[in-house]
Structure 1
Amino acid sequence: MRNGDGPVRDEGRIPREPREGHEAPSEPAPAPAGIPEQQARPHPEDGLDGQTAAAEQAQAERAATMSEQHNDKHHDPHDRSGARAMFIELRKLPDGSPEKADLRNQLVRMHLPLVEHLARRFRNRGEPLDDLTQVATIGLIKSVDRFDPERGVEFSTYATPTVVGEIKRHFRDKGWAVRVPRRLQELRLALTTATAELSQQHGRSPTVHELAERLGISEEEVLEGLESANAYSTLSLDVPDTDDESPAVADTLGAEDEALEGVEYRESLKPLLEDLPPREKRILLLRFFGNMTQSQIAQEVGISQMHVSRLLARTLAQLRERLLVEE
């Protein structure tokens, strides 16, 4: 800075006089409040060299920090920025070493939020969320064991297909009410895809012959695959019908009428009752349809109560035997 009296000292330094043929350098802008002026602006003689030196120093400090993080064996499992360094170290450690097992567990815990996010995409499909999270964690562990950090791919990008595939495999293997062979499970999936494609192509449901031609299988195999679909379980009755606010499927079903249980028995007994002798038939009707006691039946029919008991026992035994023969 200059004034009318000549050069003055600035912060204890004497600025250089401008060289011959060169203009004096312009005065740097004043430092922001709270920052010492000596730190806020470079020395006039440094120019761009001072900025380069500062950038190199900052880069060296960052490199030193990364080196310390890499050499530190106790990584913070919540520090995602250090995940790549942890994976590199994991590959260098020998199999079976406690250090490798501990680092592997840290990486798994670090990425559990990814597992929970992917598992929630499959909720309300008949499986508890906790079970889906456990299945997805298996996929995460497989991804940690197989991931190569040198490929330049983010771990979340690499792990997502494996985790989702593990969840879908769980639905495919566990979503059958009756256990059927894997061949039929895969055939059902192929039939579902072919049916959708042919329906869109022809504007109607495909025939068995068209499905067989599309998949290159026999019509008998198509029918077998369609029949196996009946073993596939539907959603739980406790799951909401459409969304969380709608009632459960079970709440929309009617109650079972206990009287319906006796319809089949009455229809089966009707022809057998017609074949009974008139007295045995009358005693049976008075006992079970008239709700009369054996003593009352004896007075009504005109025989002893003991005789009524023997006739009832013999008639019921005959009916039971004939029902078993017909079944």
Structure 2
Amino acid sequence: MYTAKGQLDSSSMIRQYSPLVRRLAHQMIAKLPANVEIDDLIQVGLIGLTDAMSRFDSAQGVQFETFATQRIRGAMLDELRGGDWMSRGTRRQQREIEGAVHKVEQRLGRAPSESEIAAEMGMSLDEYQDLLGKVRGTQLIYLEDMSGDEGDEDFLDRHVADNANNPMAVLQDHRMREALVQAIKNLPEREQYVMSMYYEHDMNLKEIAVVLKVTESRVCQLHSQAIARLRVKLREW
């Protein structure tokens, strides 16, 4: 993998380690919201690989793959932090919806309807549905959800790092999945359909709209509503 001058052969190295970049991207995206694109992570990872090639020093006694893995993952994490998936205003509106869902659910002892949530928020049903469309809920977890007592926002480091060899992390992930599956089962029927088609069958909003015989904007509203309900349940978990 070296040129005649004893330098790393960039082209050969990129060809050899591109599968590593893709593997790390797929491992990471499995724990991220659906709106994060795999191609974006791969592109950033390749930049991290290039950076690793320029900084690698074999005299340090570290294998290149180990060094590159750290650089690639670090580049992806930096990109995710910098992207700040949703604006603060949108997150605030999302939390207002979740707060209303929680209050009505506690009062009624069941999943509230959209009209009941709208009433709790002092809105008409049309206004509430417009808000759902604007929020476009896509995340089950925000970085600040996982902040520590000191306000450290280390969600990405703790939840996107390679925890395959950490038994506690594996157990927590299993419990989280079980809680999520149960929460989805308790969604209103139409919202269950939306979540199933979107996440299990990889259908886009337009395709789901055709199946449900509603508008694409209505599917977006149902998806946002489902996400709000799930976040309330997972916060309890």
TM-score of the aligned structures, taking structure 2 as reference length: 0.38
Structure with a larger share of its residues in helix = 2
Specify the structure having the higher radius of gyration (Cα): 1
Higher relative contact order (CA 8 A, sep 6+): 2
TM-score of the aligned structures, taking structure 1 as reference length: 0.29
